[in-house]
Amino acid sequence: MSPKRIIIDTDPGVDDAFTFLLALASPEIQLEALTTTQGNVTLEKATRNALSVLELGHASQIPVVAGSMYPLVQPLRASADVHGTSGIGNSRLPEPAAKPLPQHAVDYLIERVLAEPGELSIFPIGPLSNIAMAIRKEPRFTAAVKELVIMGGAISENGNVTPLAEFNIFVDPHAAHIVFHAGIPITLIPLDVTHKTLLKQEHVDRLMKIDSPISRFIKDAVEVYFKFSYERGFTGCALHDPLTLATVIAPELLTLKEYYVDVDYSTGVAMGKTFADIFNVTKKPVNMKVAMDVRGDDFIELFVRRMETLARSITG
């Protein structure tokens, strides 16, 4: 079977960076581009980080395209507490040699998707500003995208930025509303499953047995994230974004349910809350598949093994 062709739309971000590395380490996936957006960090840092991580993974041939600097309607919000001020914990990657493409990410996504209708899957793992703008700017985009696999939302799980809302959706709830209702086939990977997918110190120790910049990067990247996670009562850090790739490399680990899903953008206490009509009380048609359960430890084991393989191939 030929590998799945994907573009990751991202705001790197510790777990974003791990997603790129996992994609590069997975023969089932052909990573064709990274498009960047504000979110975990500013657009400028996100773009720099994307380029740096690709260089770390010896994949600087993969294009990086910068996108939205601001959420659509809400004010800008970047989360240094989780991801560190650089965006990837305490890691110190060198300034990237490569530059982003001169195009805007919204136009790049439109161009790539329309050039090969039905071929490209997009994995948005940050706020959905770029995807929403592409949908509104080019209505034909919707029918030409193969699918979206989105990290976002908290369905039956508590929020991680307000009591109810998950970060990516909270940052740009209007964009999420546009994307959820566009009619594109969607798989949602919410906190309900990512909070069961915890990378622990023992995994990092295991990776550190391989002398590679990949292991050292992972160790440095997760330090801040571990501290943050322990404070919240977790025994490790949730690999939110990499879990999107489970839909390709280990779909059997996920339990997917079909629901009508919406997001509150009405500016009350539930602003940015993603909810599913689990009992179909609204009688609205299903608009996505939602991962409601996961064999989290199995996914972490798969992640660590792939990182070990990547680390062995990139030494020095």
Partner 1 sequence: MNPKRILIDTDPGIDDSLAILLALASPELSLEGISVVHGNCSLEQATTNGLSVLELAHATHIPLAKGCELPLVQPSLLAPETHGNTGLGYAKLPEPRIKPTPQHGSDFLIEKILSNPGEMTLVAIGPLTNIALAIRKEPRIVGALKELIIMGGAIRYEGNTTALAEFNTYVDPHAAHIVYHAGIPTTLVPLDVTYQCVLTSQDVERLQKLDSPIPDFVKDTTDFYMEFHDAYQGMKGCVINDPLALALTFAPELCEYQTLPVDVDISGGVSLGKTFADFYNYEKKPANMRVALGVRPRDFIELFLGRMEKLARSVRG
Residue 177 CB, shortest distance to partner 1, in Å, is 6
Closer CB to partner 1, residue 5 or residue 174? Answer: 174
Of the chain, the end-to-end C-alpha distance in Å amounts to: 33
Residue 82 CB, shortest distance to partner 1, in Å, is 25
- Identify whether the C-beta of residue 27 lies closer than 8 Å to the C-beta of residue 3: yes
Q: Reduced to 3 states, what is the DSSP secondary structure of residue 259?
A: strand
Residue 65 CB, shortest distance to partner 1, in Å, is 13
> Tokens 């629901």 appear where?
259
> Tokens 């490569």 appear where?
98
Closer CB to partner 1, residue 69 or residue 208? Answer: 69
Instruction: Give the interface with partner 1 as residue ranges (CB under 8 A).
Output: 68-70, 72-73, 104, 106, 129, 132-133, 136-139, 174, 177-178, 265-268
Amino acid at 62: I
CA–CA separation, 29 vs 238, rounded Å?
22
Closer CB to partner 1, residue 136 or residue 206? Answer: 136
Q: Which residues contact 292 (CB under 8 A, 6 or more apart)?
A: 155, 156, 192, 193, 255, 256, 257
CA–CA separation, 304 vs 13, rounded Å?
19
Q: Which of 83, 104, 195, 240 is catalytic?
A: 240
CA–CA separation, 162 vs 170, rounded Å?
8
Structure-token pair, residue 284: 């609205």
DSSP state at residue 101: B
Closer CB to partner 1, residue 56 or residue 106? Answer: 106
Residue 263 CB, shortest distance to partner 1, in Å, is 11
Residue 67 CB, shortest distance to partner 1, in Å, is 9
Structure-token pair, residue 110: 């439109």
Q: Is 104 a catalytic residue?
A: no
Closer CB to partner 1, residue 14 or residue 135? Answer: 135
- Catalogue the active-site residues: 240
